[in-house]
Structure formats: structure tokens, C-alpha cells
Amino acid sequence: MRVLIIGKRSYIGSNLKSHLEKHGFFADEADAENDEWKTVDYSAYDSVVHVAAIVHQNAKSADEALFNRVNTELPVEVAKRAKSGGVPQFVFLSTMGVYGKNKSLKESDVIINAGTPENETSGYGGSKLRAEKILKTLETGSFKVAVVRPPSVYGPGCKGNYMPLFKKLALLSWVFPFAFSDICQSMIYIDNLCELIRLIIEKKAGGLYLPQDDCAPSAVYLVHQIREIFGKKTHDSRVLGAVVRLCGGIQIVKKIYGGIQYDYSVSGCFDNKYQIVSFTDGLYATYKDSV
């Protein structure tokens, strides 16, 4: 199968290209930062995967017009060209951010399930949601649209997520405040995300996908796992944990201990066969070069 990835040199795009080629696919990349995507002969492809975006890490420096142009208008224009070129499938990388949720320390606010409403807030998540809605109107019997809403993506060489922060935090001290161990954060290792997309393409599927790893870690569990990779033991301090709980309204506490989690009932696509790497193995692969 021939696949075109829109988003050349992006972390997800580059890893997806390698993953697909390992499984016998022919994968091309097209740049979204210039007019290269406009010059492509879309009729040559069985699927177009759109990963290009202005992401949340750039949110402070991006205005609403830029979000709309890159995250909403661009994928819609690409999808229209793909459809007119006879491509039977369009895969859109969206985000968990379409629910408009911020990290929380309340379990009732953390979980996303089938009944959780989307929230067209401004910025990154809102621009992705607007694109989703328009893309679904383009769907026909001969043109399927698959939307993937991944949580935080991590893996070797991945920049911008909070894994580097947690590495520094975990190695700071052998004592860690034990608090909010029931609050978890959904994550997905890059190979698992790439495998999900491969399965979507292989099965020529449309629809909505909310993937995650086989484990959604709490801050306490994540610190334990990171320290174990570096051969270090951890002491959980319930006294310090009580102090942390009293400071639950402070932003840095929410950033470290807070979470947003997909209920596993909404993540079981393809019988979880996309979860080819366990969370613990993915975490080790992420940090092994610095051990």
C-alpha cells in the first residue's frame, strides 16, 4: 500500500514512515510548511495521513488565526485534494485536547469516557475539533475519514512533553511525596501510535480512535518507574504527601500530580493489538540512552 504523510520531518511523521516501511508499506512525506503538499499527485496513494500541526507546546506564541490556518484549514484542504484525487482514505491526527480539559486532581474531572462532551475552546484543541467536524462532512462511501485523538505521545527523542521534566524530578531526590496516587495520565508510546495508524490503513477503516498505552501512570508510579530504570530506589513520604495535598490548588502541584485519562472502555480498538510495546518497556526505551 502507498501512503502519503503530510508533515515531513515531524516526530510522529518520521517515526510513522519508518514503522510503515518496516511492514512493507511504501511511505512518502510531503512538507506542510511550504507548497510541496500542493504539488503532490494524490492519485498515486491509498491513504493520506495528516500529522502536521501547530501543537500545544507552541500555544503561547501562536494566535487564533495561525491555529485556524494550520490546524483547521490546512488538513481540510489536503483532504479535499486527496478526495478529488481518488484517495480512498484520510487519517487525521487530532488530540485529546478536543475535550477542553485541563489537568485535574479530582478523579471525577480526570476521566474521559464515551459520554464526555467535546469543547470547542480556543487554541490548539479547538482548532483540531473544528477540523474534525469539517472532515467528517467530506466522508462518503468511497472516501473514509479516520480521526485519532492521542494523549501525550512519548518515546526516544521526543521533545516537548513532560517526560524530560519527570526525569529531572525523579532523579532529584530518593524521597518523593506520596500523594494523588489515584490520579493518572493517559499516554501513548510512539510505536503504539504508529501501529494503530498502520492497522487503520491496513483495514481501510474510518471512525474515531482514542488510543493509550496499557498503563496510565500516576505521578508516584511514573517516578518509581523512572528511578528503577536508573537503578535507584525510592522512598514514598506520606508526610510530604500530606503537605502536597494541602497545596493542591497551586499550579505546579497540578502540573506534576494532575492528570487526564481515557477510560479504557473507549480505547479498546482493534482488540488492543496496537499496544505492541508495554508502558514499562516504552519508558525504558525512552530513557535507555541516558542510563
Segment 175-179 shows an average pLDDT of 96
The overall average pLDDT reported for the chain is 93
Q: Is residue 84 part of a domain?
A: yes
Q: What's the CATH code of the domain at 270?
A: 3.40.50.720
Domain presence at residue 20: yes
Residue type, 228: E
For Cα atoms 281, 285, 291, give the angle at the middle one, nearest 5 degrees.
115
Averaged over 167-181, what is the pLDDT?
94
* C-alpha cell belonging to residue 49: 495521513
In this predicted structure, what is the pLDDT of residue 290? 78
> How far from the centroid of its chain's Cα atoms is residue 40's Cα?
27
Q: Residue 199's CB: how many other CB atoms inside 10 A? A: 15
Instruction: Tell me, yes or no, whether 232 lies in a domain.
Output: no
Cβ atoms within 10 Å of 119's Cβ, excluding its own: 13
Report if residue 275 sits inside a domain.
yes
Answer whether residue 146 is part of any domain: yes
Cell numbers of 251, please? 499550579
Domain of residue 95, residue span: 2-218+254-290
**What span, in angstroms and rounded, lies between the C-alpha atoms of 193 and 107?**
26
Q: Is the pLDDT of residue 62 over 60?
A: no
pTM for the model stands at: 0.95
The reported pLDDT for the residue numbered 237 is: 97
Residue 62 belongs to some domain of the structure: yes
Lowest mean pLDDT across 1-5, 103-107, 142-146: 103-107
Residue 67 within any structural domain of the chain? yes
Longest alpha-carbon distance in the chain: 63
pLDDT in tens, 242-275: 999 999 999 999 999 999 999 999 999 999 999 9
- The total number of structural domains in the chain stands at 1
C-alpha pair distances (Å), 222 with each of 20, 165, 183, 209, 269:
30, 11, 12, 25, 25
Residue 243 forms part of a structural domain:
no
Local structure of residue 35 (DSSP, 8 states): S
